[in-house]
Amino acid sequence: MVVFWFRRDLRIEDNQGLYKALSGTLKVIPIFIYDISIIDKLNKTDARLDYIEIALGRLDIAMQRNQCTVGRYHGSPEAIFKKLIADWPIEKVVCNTDYEPYARSRDQKIGELLKSHGIGFEQYKDQVLFEKSEVIKDDGSPYKVFTPYSRKWKSLLGTQPLIHYPSEAHLEQLSKVSLPKLTLREIGFTKSTLKQPQVILNNEVIDRYEATRNFPALDKTSRVGTALRFGTVSVRKLIKSAACRPNLTFLNELIWREFFMQIIWHFPHTTEKSFKPQYDRIEWRNNPDEFQAWCQGNTGYPLVDAGMRQLNATGFMHNRIRMVAGSFLCKHLLIDWRWGEAYFAAKLFDFELSSNVGNWQWVAGCGVDAAPYFRIFNPSEQIKKFDKNHDYIQQWVPEYQEMSYPKPIVEHKFARKRCLEVYKEAVATP
């Protein structure tokens, strides 16, 4: 038998690892593991687990003609695989590659366990088009700046076809064995009240993405981030759709995702430390009261507060506002970017470690971005540019013109001057 381990690839169609597992002569057992190293850190009403359960249900529906369902297990992957090895004559385990530091460590342990029992372990590229060191400089080193990475990425895209892996056409290889079907309630979680995200992606969204993406009141972003995070959509299919359109701004966003993915592969320390080490010398103020005001959307800066309230209420925040809110936390309040990164990680439906870390280091000025640290967004000017009629602010901060709305937590000019002084001292320190 072959075990196919669903992870960040919760779909039947165009799933490379699943296709490889189903292409042989052996019957395939599909499984999913609620990994306690991950889910034990989550709130018991985390809406992303609802998303996973719904996605697993869709897999079951696709497989039902073959009298198969995805086995749901709860525990440590090591313990689960020890049980599977004891219960079934497994010849190999197949999955798609995950590039995050914890996943790499986990998969190494699983590979060693399987090898000790004479069982093969195969991993395939599925959540990105180019992985690891496939897009590198001519001297073999990884790119640290997006623009040249993007140029090389696009040049490579033009040299090879976008392969579709027809996993959906080989479901007859699924095993009909009875597998456990744990529910979230059975492992201690309850249904969230948050509405599940719906992908809004068509040619019009792609073509007009550059013109509309910066205006939060228009709500013209694709909401595809969650689907990419959990693999309910094929990245190859998205890239194929975006690459053939006249405007490539949407494609560039997909490339940014892969850029950050390869950064975390080559520089895994960046999940905890600044890419530019001198920025770890910044003397953060880390005022807990100011952090709470930011988290709750009570800073007195309407655009920042609107974004935080949208995040808390929906699990989503518009991309432009993520930059404004993130910059405000790090630059205006001098609160460590890691605090903000952790808060977004706990709240965002589309949380993906590499992109979250990469974007937070971008707004803090300590990451791979080539721009100088003295780029500081003025929240009031951002309103004039991207929400001049206050439509977005009115939606999330209806009291922003009333006496009950808090006064600005800090004055912009003062905060900017303080930030520049603190950053300059950190960078200048030998």
Known catalytic membership, residue 360: yes
Structure tokens at 223: 């909401």
Q: From the candidates 287, 298, 312, 319, which is the catalytic residue? A: 319
Known catalytic membership, residue 362: no
Q: From the candidates 256, 287, 298, 312, which is the catalytic residue? A: 256
**Measured between alpha carbons, how far is 266 from 358 in angstroms, rounded to an integer?**
13
Q: From the candidates 13, 134, 284, 298, which is the catalytic residue? A: 284
Answer left, alpha or beta for residue 311, where phi above 0 means left and psi between -120 and 50 means alpha: alpha
Known catalytic membership, residue 5: no
Structure tokens at 101: 């530091």
Known catalytic membership, residue 256: yes
Known catalytic membership, residue 210: no
From the centroid of its chain, how far is CA 387?
26
Name, in order, each residue with C-beta under 8 angstroms of 350's C-beta and a sequence gap of 6 or more: 197, 223, 225, 226, 228, 229, 316
Across the beta sheet with 2-6, what order do the strands follow?
71-75, 28-35, 2-6, 92-96, 120-124
User: Are the beta carbons of 20 and 26 closer than 8 angstroms?
Assistant: no
Q: From the candidates 53, 253, 258, 290, which is the catalytic residue? A: 253
Known catalytic membership, residue 122: no
Task: Tell me the one-letter amino acid at 329.
Answer: L
Apex 191 CA angle, 189 and 196, nearest 5:
125
Q: From the candidates 294, 337, 339, 396, which is the catalytic residue? A: 337
With both helix axes pointing from N to C terminus, report the angle between 249-266 and 235-243 in degrees, rounded to the nearest 10.
140
Q: From the candidates 153, 294, 339, 360, which is the catalytic residue? A: 360
**Which are the catalytic amino acids?**
253, 256, 284, 319, 337, 360
